[in-house]
Structures are given as structure tokens and as C-alpha cells.
Structure 1
């Protein structure tokens, strides 16, 4: 039985005029399996379908294989996150 690959979610940019109400900052990174509770629930809601697609071998059109970039739905903040499938050591 193969293991699911690790997934890392990193805040890479912010487009909105207001800082994140959850306190996230550019460069913050989260392990999906062990730290997803630390990620803003609004961002997590958007991230989950991408994580599911990548984790089970799919790719997102227009994105590098094994990655997805998405935005937080908070119009005042608009944090930009990158999801990456991490290779096992």
C-alpha cells in the first residue's frame, strides 16, 4: 500500500490592502497533515479541493505539476498560497 505524499502550503504573496486577520505572513508554511488547523479556515476551504487533486496524482491546468496557487477569499486580505507535493526522503 503506497503512502499519500506530503503536502506543504506556503503563503507566497498578499494582494489586499489589509493584513491577515488570522496573522499569517508571507513565508509562513504549513504541513497539511499535521498543521492544517493552524491555517485560516477560509483559506483551508479553498485549498482542500486542490490538495485532494494533487495528493491523488492529478494536476491543475496552467500550474506546474505537483503545485497549485490559490487566493484566500477574504477580499480585504487576498493572501496568495502555494500548495506543493513534497517528495519523500
Structure 2
């Protein structure tokens, strides 16, 4: 079974404070090779989505087909987009 490549990109910020981890809009992370660079709070939210997508599940998406989630820090509220691409085993 081939696993899709998962990329997580910071696309917006809704809170009143900057990210405590220093993430900025446009930062992008390869789930397989860079997940340790992503804020642990955001990763905690992202993981169930990634797990579902990795094993063939479907998630509700935006009108453009993208999947988005927010970090749980109410003062920051970074908005991330998950992109799925065909990958290797």
C-alpha cells in the first residue's frame, strides 16, 4: 500500500499574538521528514487528520478541496492546510 505524501502549510493567522514557535504564514512542513519542526500543539491537532488520510479515509473539505485545521492556542489561532500527494511506500 502506497502512503500519500502529506504537506502541512501555515496559510493564515486569526489570533492577536504571533506564534510562540515562530511559525509564519507560508511555512510548510513535510509530515514524514519535518514533523518535529511543527509546533507540538498544532501537531496534536493535525495527527488525527493525517492518520485518516494516510489510510484512505476522507475528511470534510473546503470548497477548493483543501483540508484545514487550526492550532488550539486561542491567542494565536494559526490556520494550517493539509495537502495530500501520491507518495511512495
Q: Is the 8 A contact 2:45 2:69 kept in 1?
A: yes
Indicate the SS of the match to 1:11.
strand
| Runs (5+) with no aligned partner, structure 2 | none
* Whole-angstrom CA distance in 1 between matches of 2:53 and 2:30: 14
What displacement does 1:60 show? 1.0
Q: TM-score, normalised by structure 1?
A: 0.89
What is the Cα-based RMSD across aligned positions, in Å? 1.5
- Which one has more relative contact order, counting CA pairs under 8 Å at least 6 apart? 2
Indicate the SS of the match to 2:23.
coil
* Whole-angstrom CA distance in 2 between matches of 1:87 and 1:24: 26
Tell me the residue number matched to 2:46.
47
Indicate the SS of the match to 1:10.
strand
| Runs (5+) with no aligned partner, structure 1 | none
Indicate the SS of the match to 2:41.
helix
Tell me the residue number matched to 1:12.
11
Q: TM-score, normalised by structure 2?
A: 0.89
What displacement does 1:62 show? 4.0
Tell me the residue number matched to 1:27.
26
Tell me the residue number matched to 2:59.
60
